[in-house]
Amino acid sequence: SQVLDTKDVQVFKVTVNGQDAQFAFGEKHSFKGTPLEITFPKELRRGQEAIVEISFESSPKSSALQWFTPEQTSGKKHPFLFSQCQVVFL
């Protein structure tokens, strides 16, 4: 499994290498957000790559998430989401 940080997002679906994956939110933390634990549908071999796709919706309270409109991107076709968050180790 893999744990990611989230804050004020709603997750609808997670896939790993094209297969549906189980996911659950952990306990919310005051400044670190809420952990999202993804359980891979099958075990990966050492060194094997995984493509994780997350269908989600952000909210205006989603700190450090910013969007470019399609017109602001180089291809001018799709919006672009980026995060200014940093890894926090405690």
Task: Please give the tally of structural domains in the chain.
Answer: 1
88: in domain: no
Spatial strand order of the sheet with 9-16 comes to 19-20, 9-16, 52-58
- CA–CA gap between residue 52 and residue 19 (Å, rounded): 9
Per residue in 3-19, pLDDT tens? 888 888 899 999 999 99
In a domain, 26, yes or no: yes
- Model confidence at 75, pLDDT cuts 50, 70, 90, reads very high
Tell me, what CATH number does 6's domain have? Answer: 2.60.40.1730
Task: Select the more confidently predicted residue: 62 or 71.
Answer: 71
Asked whether residue 90 is assigned to any structural domain, the reply reads no
- Helix then strand count (H, E) for the chain reads 0, 8
